[in-house]
Chain A
């Protein structure tokens, strides 16, 4: 197999590629934050009666909350802020499809590139 000679990349091209990578990193990590897609999906189950008993705290737990500087009123939003694990099947299916599709593409495209690497490396010998 003929040895592949890659083109030399100009300085401007290198700068452009660095910019692409930086933009991609910020879009991937910053955009979910900006769009509110990152972070925990929790909500507060509000209670009318804000007492340690109503919040499900026994005397030992209540004494620790107080030691930490909390009252039933200030602890309410922490204790009642809960996850609600309802499986959203369409979203789960989309997530699974994206993940599986991603890995299939990765392994198949990598294998095509890998065959070139192996052919060039070992056909030289």
Chain B
């Protein structure tokens, strides 16, 4: 079904809006650009939690989770095409408190992902330099500040840069894959000797479940495509195409990455290294591949951090615009038309955490917020179809097999919560406790500043059941 949806947000009076300049390629670059760094670091911690085979199993199963996310998201976003993505969806379908929480999930998931990217970039440069006493902090600070400036200057330039560096990073994975003769075992790749029946699942099947936590990292952030909904020329067409193409791209990259890395290093090392693909390049013995993967690791981290700043700032901007947070955040730059105050506000927060958190801690913070958000999405689509059944409103895209993707997504989220509990339970409880408390603050205090009916901006009929 491809009926075009109306643009969600119209410019009113002298209100300055975001620019509609993006096409499907930018949507692809935004989604894949954020996520591709997951192939360069993070996914491999799944091997630490469950062994090399567990990392492959979760690559596929979590791929199913994200296919459900992409299907559901494409339908809702192509219909609720407004900045803030899932935040705008929650506002129109579930209610203000849920929207407030979803925006925080987004901001935390993307800001901590940006922090992870900056740490990866700093550590990679320090490791390459091999200079005694060289600290990664200056590289982290430079990365975050320069990318924030780029985002401040304009979304089109930002995403054009992302498109180029994401494409280079992706091609490097393909080049590595083809260079190691993937069709032949024994010459370069030694999968049979590294992943044996004795060590494939060192913790058994409980390790496979535990590995779900970092399996999420293969794809986390693909749903960020929806953040650009208000800046896309044709949301109904570009968002589903860009998101689905991104998902296919990532599934292929994840499979290639696992195969090459698991065939080149023991699972114990694979599970703890910060740069599995760069290490894979080194282990091939080719200086060219080593340098290519070094550069690609940096580019992937840059592209991801760039996209994360873009997405987190838009979610924060939306909160200010709807008065869920002080309206000061809702300012759009008069010249660059970007949410510049939100970009600047989140900058020191990212810097602070980049200096105090470890890579796997920052990744876990990001994953936690991501899984909370996916849990919301599985329930949100059920409510969306119930309140506005097919035919009652114009949808840009209708996903098939409803409610199967929602049920699959919900079940996989429950498994992932259990996976996080296995090894990172305290962190999970602390974060959920925070969301609980900040929700009480919003519901009982902050909501009084919010206009009621004005929050509902879609030209839809009254929802069924109300």
Residues of A within 8 A of B (CB): 3-4, 6-7, 9, 13-15, 17-18, 20-22, 24-33, 37-42, 56-58, 60-61, 64-65, 67-68, 75, 78-79, 81, 83, 85, 87-88, 91-92, 94-95, 98-99, 101-103, 105-107, 109-122, 124
Q: Quote the shortest CB–CB distance from B171 to chain A (angstroms).
A: 26
Q: What are 24 A-to-B residue pairs whose CB atoms are below 8 Å?
A: A6-B323, A7-B448, A9-B449, A21-B325, A29-B112, A30-B356, A32-B431, A33-B356, A38-B424, A40-B360, A58-B196, A61-B266, A68-B265, A88-B425, A102-B439, A109-B439, A110-B98, A111-B95, A112-B95, A114-B96, A114-B466, A118-B463, A119-B452, A121-B452
B160 within 8 A of A: no
Q: Quote the shortest CB–CB distance from B90 to chain A (angstroms).
A: 8
> Which one, A18, A85, A98, A119, contacts B328 given CB within 8 A?
A18
- Contact-residue bracket for chain B: 35 or more
> Which one, B210, B283, B435, B452, contacts A116 given CB within 8 A?
B452
Q: Is the CB of B437 within 8 A of A95?
A: no
Q: Which residues from chain B contact A26 at a C-beta distance below 8 Å?
A: 352
* In the complex, residue of chain A having the shortest beta-carbon distance to the beta carbon of B115: A29
Q: Which residues from chain A contact B328 at a C-beta distance below 8 Å?
A: 14, 18
Q: Which residues from chain B contact A27 at a C-beta distance below 8 Å?
A: 434
Beyond A6-B448, A28-B431, A98-B433, is A110–B97 a contact (Cβ under 8 Å)? Answer: yes
Interface core residue of A20, A107, A114 (most chain B CB under 10 Å): A114
Interface core residue of B196, B264, B428, B435 (most chain A CB under 10 Å): B435
Beyond A32-B430, A42-B423, is A114–B356 a contact (Cβ under 8 Å)? Answer: no
Q: Quote the shortest CB–CB distance from B52 to chain A (angstroms).
A: 12
B365 within 8 A of A: yes
B179 within 8 A of A: no
Q: How far is the CA of A40 from the CA of B211 in the complex (A)?
A: 12
> Which one, A33, A91, A114, contacts B94 given CB within 8 A?
A114
Q: Is the CB of B430 within 8 A of A28?
A: yes
Question: Can you add 20 more A-B contacts, CB < 8 Å, to A4-B452, A9-B449, A120-B452?
Answer: A6-B450, A39-B360, A61-B194, A64-B283, A79-B268, A83-B48, A88-B425, A91-B421, A95-B429, A95-B432, A99-B432, A101-B436, A102-B436, A109-B97, A110-B96, A110-B97, A114-B96, A116-B452, A117-B456, A118-B462
